[in-house]
């Protein structure tokens, strides 16, 4: 029999450790665990939602505390204080970064964490916002702030306000955990909140970005955060723009791999001039690999060795003439050859087929001082 699971409108992700000790758990323990992991607020500020979780599980405060102790003892959940005991004395910032699964702090983070960069709609917004303003309008007609390159740290009040503004945040965090294949700690969950609430990125955008990071082997949410800021500053801030950028990046990576083989670069890093030239050829001029390969062949046949500057001049001449494919280059060469052969028949001189390419770059090389 094949079992079909109906996931409905969402799923709950549990660590495998829980299954190993489930037989030893009471009914109350199991209910508490399920409702903890079903409430995305638990990964950001456990104190703020503990009473709601106990009520949803239908247990008393005493039963709730016993269940928490059971799951802590089983290693399924861990508080920020537990992490501090295991790892030694750390700053409040590092404890927040290293806490795992569920934060059980007795004091809210509001005393330890202050928003650094201000975000649109934040209760902490002040005059400093004026320095970061971005004229770009959102779909709602509200001006975005141009963010600095890190997210603000959210207090419990900030998190609650973010959830009030975006009721689907819980589902987004859960979907992000599915994409990354693991549970988030409180700091990681706050990154997802910030990407949506502070940068104003769509859930579709965030999930697409995380999937791309995972595909590239980058599973740290801090990496995704840096990528989000970099893309945002370049105007890549919609799902459609991100999709186009990802496709371009994937094509670039394939092209770079082929160029390494063609030019004998191997595994060394590209020089700044090489990378600038390669990006100009593919991104600015729209040259495909076949055209770059033809420019390589022309360069080697003409000057006897590989020269990226010479290749650049060859490709630049083709770009200026509007060539978009090797076929167009071949057609232009054939026309030039036919014309020169006709002239040669009249004058009795010979025709050198390399002349077509040499003339194409001669002017550019003189202007650059390379020829």
pLDDT tens, residue by residue, 114-152: 333 344 444 344 333 433 434 434 443 333 444 456 788
Q: Does residue 201 have a pLDDT over 50?
A: yes
Q: Which long-range contacts (CB under 8 A, 24 or more apart) does 224-228 make?
A: 224/191, 224/195, 225/150, 225/151, 225/191, 225/194, 225/195, 226/149, 228/195, 228/199, 228/201
User: What pLDDT sits at residue 207?
Assistant: 97
Least confident span in 74-78, 80-84, 130-134, 286-290: 130-134
Give me the chain's average pLDDT, please.
76
**Radius of gyration of the chain from its Cα atoms, rounded to whole angstroms:** 30
Q: For residue 144, which of 212, 204, 229 has the smallest C-alpha distance?
A: 229
- With a pLDDT cut of 90, the percent of the chain lying above it is 33
Reduce the DSSP state of residue 275 to 3 states and report it: helix
How much is the pTM? 0.51
| Rounded Cα distance, 259 and 268, in Å | 12
Q: Are 11 and 174 in contact (CB under 8 A)?
A: yes
Of 87 and 103, more confident: 87
347 pLDDT band (50/70/90 cuts)? Answer: low
Residue 269 pLDDT > 50, yes or no? yes
pLDDT in tens, 155-181: 888 888 888 888 889 999 999 999 999
Residue 80 pLDDT grade (very low, low, confident, very high; cuts 50, 70, 90): low
Which of 47-51, 142-146, 192-196, 260-264 comes out lowest in average pLDDT?
Answer: 142-146
pLDDT higher than 80, residue 209: yes
Which has the closest alpha carbon to 29: 78, 79, 64, 75? 64
Kindly report, residue by residue over 286-339, the tens digit of the pLDDT: 899 999 999 999 999 999 999 999 999 999 999 999 999 999 999 988 887 887
Give the CA count within 13 Å in the CB-facing half-sphere of 194. 29
- Residue 49 binned pLDDT confidence (cut-offs 50, 70, 90): confident
Is it the case that residue 204 has pLDDT exceeding 50? yes
What pLDDT, on the 0 to 100 scale, is given for residue 336?
78
Higher pLDDT, 107 or 80: 80
pLDDT at 187: 86
Instruction: Sort 307 into a burial class: Cβ within 10 Å, 0-12 / 13-18 / 19+.
Output: middle
Query: From CA 95, how far away is CA 80, in angstroms rounded?
Result: 6
**C-alpha closest to that of 43 among 174, 148, 152:** 174
* pLDDT at 310 (0 to 100): 93
Is pLDDT of 43 > 80? Answer: no
CA–CA separation, 120 and 146 (whole Å): 10
pLDDT of residue 146: 43
At 137, give phi and psi (nearest 5°). -90, 140
At 239 the pLDDT is 95
Give me the percent of the chain exceeding a pLDDT of 70: 71
């Amino acid at each position: 029999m094949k079992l079909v699971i109906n996931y409905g409108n969402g799923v709950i992700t549990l660590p495998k450790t829980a299954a190993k000790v489930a037989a030893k758990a009471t009914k109350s323990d199991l209910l508490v665990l399920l409702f903890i992991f079903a409430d995305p607020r638990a990964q950001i500020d456990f104190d703020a939602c503990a009473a709601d979780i106990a009520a949803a599980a239908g247990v008393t405060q005493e039963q709730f505390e016993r269940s928490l102790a059971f799951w802590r003892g089983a290693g399924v959940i861990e508080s920020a204080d537990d992490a501090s005991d295991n790892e030694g004395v750390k700053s409040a910032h590092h404890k927040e970064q290293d806490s795992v699964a569920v934060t059980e702090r007795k004091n809210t983070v509001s005393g330890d964490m202050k928003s650094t960069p201000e975000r649109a709609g934040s209760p902490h917004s002040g005059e400093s916002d004026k320095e970061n303003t971005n004229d770009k309008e959102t779909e709602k007609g509200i001006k975005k702030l141009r963010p600095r390159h890190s997210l603000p740290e959210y207090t419990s009040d900030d998190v609650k306000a973010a959830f009030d503004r975006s009721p689907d945040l819980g589902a987004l965090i859960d979907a992000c955990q599915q994409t990354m294949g693991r549970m988030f700690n409180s700091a990681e969950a706050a990154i997802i909140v910030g990407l949506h609430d502070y940068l104003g990125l769509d859930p579709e955008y965030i999930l697409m970005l995380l999937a791309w990071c995972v595909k590239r082997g980058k599973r740290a949410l801090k990496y995704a955060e840096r990528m989000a800021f970099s893309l945002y500053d370049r105007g890549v801030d919609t799902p459609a723009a991100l999709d186009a950028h990802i496709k371009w990046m994937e094509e670039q990576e394939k092209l770079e791999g082929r160029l390494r083989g063609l030019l004998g670069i191997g595994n060394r890093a590209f020089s700044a001039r090489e990378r600038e030239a390669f990006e100009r050829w593919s991104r600015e001029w729209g040259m495909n690999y076949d055209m770059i390969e033809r420019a390589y062949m022309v360069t080697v046949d003409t000057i006897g060795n590989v020269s990226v500057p010479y290749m650049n001049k060859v490709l630049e001449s083709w770009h200026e003439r509007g060539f978009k494919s090797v076929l167009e280059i071949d057609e232009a060469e054939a026309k030039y050859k036919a014309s020169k052969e006709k002239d040669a028949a009249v004058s009795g001189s010979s025709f050198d087929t390399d002349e077509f390419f040499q003339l194409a770059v001669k002017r550019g090389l003189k202007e650059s001082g390379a020829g």
